[in-house]
A and B are shown apart, each in its own frame.
Chain A
């Protein structure tokens, strides 16, 4: 039924309206105009009036453009041939490779039956002490990195991706600067990880509608790999751009905005994507790490706020470091009891001391006198920031724990550490006095 319509009734933003019959909701269409050919999706039906969202943008679409309905919803090719490839948000090759069109799968599929999920139980090792020791990442977790624009969240994502022991990496880039896209590509290529990576990249200069497709496409592909038993890590950067793209479309469609112009279903839309993170009973898993930039460093902004309610914790990136306060991995309790006996004690003990250091810094800046204890804390805090918090530190968990004990021993007497005496007997470095001297 290849009927061609060639009378566009209205064009507003990236949405065009035509009169047509026999069209179904979410069906795809091809819009051919002087500006070129683009795919479009049905986003509203009202009698014979059909609203279409044009992926490549409505710029240059003429009122006599030819619209051909394809009779199916959006889908992407899926096969092992995807690995090592780079695509646009519309799933067209961005590298110079061939177009793929086998094994087509639907995007934005139904959600997983909660009865088929299992409690996550495997730790993801990243080599970053602030994550491994203090806020352990767990397989199948969904976790955003909250950061101001300008913080190194993309390098952090790339590093985690390279070090995490996963089978497949999927990168979904939304509104990425072209430099950042090249950074990801080159970093993955240099480390040899590109061959187990699929990239769907929408750059800042691409049509905004394609940005909306990136998470769905990335996660649909991830889901297929996970069903094959693979452990998949999905990186989404930056979800704030995705939310902004949604806002743009919603306002074009004259929807009633709820909070700062964002559509009322922002929570549901974000949740539908993040909830794709899963540990399947008898199959693989999907772990989602996302970057969410906070406009104005404001965590109560609708995007980070709604995200925080959806995800299982968050990493705050501030001044190039993962902040220990505010950062949280809700799932860490599921794994950190099984790593090493001292893990939990070191985790909370060192943070409590660091909190005291922060108070001392405040006291110092107000000109109060520094006690002997304060001096110890100052030494500790300064070394903690350098040896644990700095993102350049790259050591396995066990080494980080040992380093923690050494740091404590260099700064404090055993009883000042506030750690359980049983653990102190086992782990306190015997040569502490020498190193301290």
Chain B
């Protein structure tokens, strides 16, 4: 389809209308010519001989009659070794390289190759001549950082591929042919390490999709114990501004027990990305001892970068995440924030003059959000191993009101809901996940009945607290008052966690089970004190000691001493 061109007949913001002659397909990529520049754009609607394209760049300077070249390809990303530790924009342009070429500012119309073409990778073949393989089965592998990066039969391969020729061990660039494969029609094709995949199409080259059941430890206590996330599951974090969505996501990206983290900074502040960008290379991953950056890919399309590319960025991110899943790795995708992505859809829809749905979001908002979260999941690969993509999306509801369309559409399709509340963040209770409103459908790493009884204490304690506001402390019975203190205790020593403390910031699964066991026993225990003042004093002491306990390294002398102190405090009153 080379040489298929059209000409512009209308410009409205980042939307151009193009008259074309040949065949054009939906979501096909086109380049609008502006002098020397070629501005990337995507077909979003076709009407008769006119196609509407959203341009991924500023459209200033385009005029009627300017040429648009259609490529015949859908918006695609490059997959291959060299993606880890990279920083891309929403269209997979590597930002550091772009800075080298263009200086301080992003320059429109400049597109670079996502994967370096001159780097050589040490390839070890595993397939043999004559092997019959299908899409996504291994041909060999190369080392990439801490992983064995699988080189696979291209995901789009139809039917079986017979290995005709395979390269001997040695170093190759991503574009060099490493195997010749014959398809069912007898045609022989060259295969390189690099393959391209359209971002809006899910990768489905696996044996079967499984139910997510295994917990993913994020090391945030309130999440892992109360509102757990499963490997291959999905969750969302809605919250008003300033409630700590981004801090929570940053903590998770550092400490979560997964192999690869893909961060999609979608329409948010550039400053936050910069913190990740500059700090991650300095931080070590406790699991591997290497820099955190070696397991991270950042897709960054901040709020001032072109809106249409923002929409593409979440798809780019999920495609890269799925690629590493195909190597039997556990991948976590953090999208901050999906509301900005939904707003990008709204802007496009508005320019297309589509009939608006609620709050002017397009009517297809729900199905688009559902389609995105459905790309998460745990799968059994063709070699029997499993890999997963877990998706955590933050949502920024207008006015902090969870009734708005994006939050509601998201809640329908995720497995866990971590709702952040303004009241908790104002009271400096972090993480500000509301323990009464949030929920999760995944299994916790502590036994369910323990979680249930702890949640009952929280609920009942909260009820007593509400009542006390009306009748005062003097109108509350000692029994109820103790229940209230228990709930407050659980909240301050377990639900709250100090993100800036070296030990308290991340609690491993084993420690959570251990500490929660202690707390559970305490919550179950009847407390024998003579009056409210004594009860308050006791819980002050307990809170102080447990907080110190949280700050002590597990297994240290300090840890044991504090545990003894706590046991003694509890023994005295029961």
Contacts and interface: CB of A to CB of B under 8 A. Distances in A.
Contacts of B108: 110
A118 B271 CA distance: 8
Interface string A74-116: 0000000000000000000000000000000000011111111
A215 to B, nearest CB: 12
A48 B64 contact: yes
B106 A46 contact: no
Contacts of B361: 258
Given A45-B63, A267-B343, A112 B105 contact: yes
A283 B274 CA distance: 16
Given A25-B63, A302-B398, A114 B274 contact: yes
A252 interface: no
B58 interface: yes
A24 B61 contact: yes
Contact of B350 (A46, A73, A264, A333): A264
A276 B304 contact: yes
Contact of A259 (B9, B350, B359): B359
A342 interface: no
B186 interface: no
Contacts of A271: 267, 303-304
Contact of B106 (A112, A267, A333): A112
Given A267-B303, A308-B242, A255 B99 contact: no
Nearest to B57: A110
B307 A25 contact: no
Nearest to A301: B399
B304 A116 contact: no
B360 A113 contact: no
A117 interface: yes
B105 A113 contact: yes
Contacts of A306: 398
A258 B59 CA distance: 23
A403 interface: no
Interface string A321-334: 00001101011010
B12 interface: yes
B102 interface: yes
A244 interface: no
A113 B87 CA distance: 11
A275 interface: yes
A310 interface: yes
Given A113-B95, A271-B303, A119 B104 contact: no
Contacts of A227: 104
A11 B20 CA distance: 32
Contacts of B59: 25-26
B350 A283 contact: no
Given A111-B105, A264-B343, A47 B99 contact: no
Contacts of A392: none
B179 to A, nearest CB: 35
B98 interface: yes
B277 interface: yes
Contacts of B8: 45
A153 B457 CA distance: 46
Given A113-B105, A113-B106, A305 B343 contact: no
Contacts of A48: 64
Nearest to A268: B307
A432 interface: no
Given A265-B307, A308-B241, A113 B98 contact: yes
Given A114-B95, A256-B350, A300 B64 contact: no
A23 B11 CA distance: 11
B527 to A, nearest CB: 25
Contact of B61 (A73, A116, A305): A73
Nearest to B105: A110
B143 to A, nearest CB: 26
Nearest to B95: A115
Nearest to B361: A258
A368 B343 CA distance: 50
B360 A257 contact: yes
Nearest to B271: A312
Q: B13, B58, B304 — which one has the most chain A CB atoms within 10 A of its CB?
A: B304
Given A46-B10, A227-B104, A73 B305 contact: no
Contacts of B307: 265, 268
B68 to A, nearest CB: 14
Contacts of A45: 8, 10-12, 62-64
B277 A114 contact: yes
Contacts of A150: none
A376 to B, nearest CB: 19
B168 interface: no
Contact of B63 (A22, A268, A310, A313): A22
A44 interface: yes
A328 B87 CA distance: 29
B517 interface: no
A25 B60 contact: yes
A353 to B, nearest CB: 13
A25 B62 contact: yes
A337 to B, nearest CB: 10
Interface string A101-142: 000000001111111111110000000000000000000000
A264 B346 contact: yes
B398 A305 contact: yes
A278 B104 CA distance: 11
B241 A24 contact: no
B410 to A, nearest CB: 17
Contacts of B48: none
Contacts of A23: 63-64
Contacts of A117: 270-271, 274
A299 B270 CA distance: 24
Contacts of B398: 259, 300, 302, 305-306
A263 B359 CA distance: 11
B293 to A, nearest CB: 13
B448 interface: no
A361 interface: no
Contacts of B275: 119
B278 interface: yes
Contacts of A113: 95, 98-99, 102-106
A272 interface: yes
Interface string B411-452: 000000000000000100000000000000000000000000
Contact of A275 (B63, B105, B304): B304
Contacts of B400: 300
Nearest to B34: A24
B45 interface: no
Interface in B347-379: 347, 350, 353, 356, 359-361
For the complex of A and B, 8 pairs with smallest distance between CB atoms: A300-B399, A271-B303, A275-B304, A258-B360, A26-B60, A24-B63, A308-B241, A111-B304
Given A73-B60, A110-B105, 7 more contacts: A22-B63, A25-B59, A27-B63, A47-B10, A110-B58, A300-B400, A302-B398
12 contacts: A24-B61, A25-B11, A45-B11, A45-B64, A46-B10, A114-B87, A115-B98, A117-B270, A268-B344, A268-B347, A272-B303, A308-B241
Interface of B: 8-13, 17, 58-65, 87, 95-96, 98-99, 102-108, 240-242, 267, 269-271, 273-275, 277-279, 300, 302-305, 307, 340, 343-344, 346-347, 350, 353, 356, 359-361, 396, 398-401, 426, 472, 500
